[in-house]
Amino acid sequence: MKFTRKRGIVAAGVAAALVVGVPALATAADQHPDNTKAAQKAVVGGKARNVILLIGDGMGDSEITIARNYQVGADGRLAMDTLPMTGAYTTYAVQKNNPKLPDYVTDSAASGTGWATGQKTYNGAISVLPNGKPLPTILDLEKKAGYRTGDVTTAELQDATPAVLGSHVVSRDCKGPQSMGPCAVNAKENGGDGSIAEQLVQTKPDVLLGGGKQYFDQTVQAGRFKSLSVLQQAQVTGYNVVTDAAGLAAAPANKPILGAFAKNNMDLEWVGPAPTPKNTPSTTCQVNTARAESQPHLVDMAKKAISVLDKQTRDSNKGFFLQIEGASIDKQDHAANPCGQIGETVAFDAAIKEALKYQKDNPDTLVVVTADHGHTSQIVAAGSTTTGATATLRTHDGADMTISYATAPLGTDQQHTGTEVRIAAGGPQAANVLGVTNQTDLFFTMKRALGLH
């Protein structure tokens, strides 16, 4: 108490001295207002009607800064930078054979299982404990409690981050009924719940949008839907299946929607230079003209998902839970593709903007923006080389930014990193992301916000 008072007095004294002694600085003070009241106002407890969780896969602080510098300049702000509460969370996984020990560098499966279930697990696990036991997910619990749910990604829908919400398998590779090699225990023909594709459809979120059509096209091997494709299983059980942007735009809100818009991951937004050991001449990114026009952009999927879930819940006392993933930030970081990575981050930011727009009209919505793990890319001195490969981009500021990829030899997959990552939020219960938390804490934050027990 004493300390606070003393600090307060000192601060007031400094402010007064600035105003009186150097009038020119008064303008600078206006530009740096005391945010105490705004921060107090932003602390909202109570219950949320809706939760929108936005995951930038592999979107560490470095990836955010690179995208910001390039797109809006060093002094600019992305939509994700405007959330009122920002904290950091640790992302580590645990070792499969000794779950008491951390695995410091997580993958998307273990990290996603963390916020989807509140439990740490091993790399590769999709919402199962290290012993293979399935864990109820936040989406499972919300469905049970009568909430509407959605799961949106630019990756294959069977990829780890979308998969952790609606399936439980011992390996992330078990994406379709004919890809069950590593998951015999989960296979339908062995009495399990089936592949990720089958389980997603069985869990039946109201909105499922992304890529991965090849796994939905695989043939179910056993059970009631034997010999059908998973996509046919989805149709038989009530899904409106759409496969392009026009189909998505036309899809009515009164039926669950499964949108599978690409065989694998969805196409990239931007293209640009490949980094080299000797750096590259400064250049800019280009729009990917090879991108299939039939594929909706992430922002289109986000808008549709929010609008459908909003319509479906308008006359209900229960709202919705929606996860939206910008998946290829991670994938292009792995590929050491700076423009690919930035384009996906900018596209993800556009989806965040939509979520914030919805929240403005519906303040009882908790919006959380975070990542599952850090990644390779680093901003290094302009024009420099590193032990890896670098590329230089001319940014929005008109300055050169050199990006290094050096966590693996050039030409091989760049690696995730074990750093903590940003978590930002606004709306009811958002204050629970403040400080340093754990990715597993996010499960409890969202659960509490929706009043689930």
Residues at the contact surface with Zn ion, assessed by CB under 5 A:
330
Nearer to Zn ion, 335 or 431 (CB): 335
User: Torsion over CA of 434, 438, 441 and 446, rounded to 10 degrees?
Assistant: 60
Q: How far is the CB of 106 from Zn ion (least distance, A)?
A: 10
Cα 359 to Cα 382: distance, rounded to the nearest angstrom: 39
Six-digit token string for 108: 């998307």
* Strand, coil or helix: 97: coil
DSSP 378-403: EEESTT---SSEEEEEE-TTS-EEEE
Answer yes or no: are the C-beta atoms of 163 and 194 closer than 8 Å: no
Cα 343 to Cα 112: distance, rounded to the nearest angstrom: 23
DSSP 172-225: TT--STT--GGGGGG-GGGTS---HHHHHHHH--SEEEEE-HHHHTSBP-SSTT
Nearer to Zn ion, 171 or 280 (CB): 171
Answer yes or no: are the C-beta atoms of 267 and 297 closer than 8 Å: no
* Beta-ladder partners of 209: 152, 259
Nearer to Zn ion, 330 or 354 (CB): 330
Nearer to Zn ion, 253 or 408 (CB): 408
Of 165, 130, 203, nearest to 372 (Cα)?
A: 165
Nearer to Zn ion, 113 or 445 (CB): 113
Q: How far is the CB of 377 from Zn ion (least distance, A)?
A: 12
Q: How far is the CB of 344 from Zn ion (least distance, A)?
A: 12
441-449 and 108-117 are packed helices; what angle lies between their axes, rounded to 10 degrees? Answer: 40
- Is 404 a known active-site residue? no
Nearer to Zn ion, 142 or 330 (CB): 330
* Strand, coil or helix: 184: helix
Q: How far is the CB of 372 from Zn ion (least distance, A)?
A: 8
Nearer to Zn ion, 202 or 419 (CB): 419
Q: How many helices (H) and strands (E) would you count in the chain?
A: 15, 17
- Looking at 62, 108, 111, 404, which residue is catalytic? 108
Answer yes or no: are the C-beta atoms of 418 and 25 closer than 8 Å: no
Q: How far is the CB of 340 from Zn ion (least distance, A)?
A: 13
Give, in order, the Cα–Cα distances in Å from 302 to each of 50, 207, 309, 351, 357: 15, 10, 11, 6, 12
Q: How far is the CB of 237 from Zn ion (least distance, A)?
A: 32
Residue appearing with tokens 């050199």: 402
Give, in order, the Cα–Cα distances in Å from 358 to each of 14, 96, 310, 354: 41, 40, 9, 6
Nearer to Zn ion, 206 or 330 (CB): 330
Q: What's the Rg (C-alpha) of the chain?
A: 23
The CA-to-CA distance between both ends of the chain, in Å, stands at: 37
Q: How far is the CB of 130 from Zn ion (least distance, A)?
A: 21
- Within a 10 A sphere around the Cβ of 177, how many other Cβ atoms? 27
Q: Which residue in the shown chain puts its C-beta closest to Zn ion?
A: 330
Q: How far is the CB of 116 from Zn ion (least distance, A)?
A: 17
Of 336, 332, 373, 447, nearest to 123 (Cα)?
A: 373
Answer yes or no: are the C-beta atoms of 280 and 273 closer than 8 Å: yes
Distance of CA 165 to the CA centre of its chain: 12
Active-site residues, by number, are 108
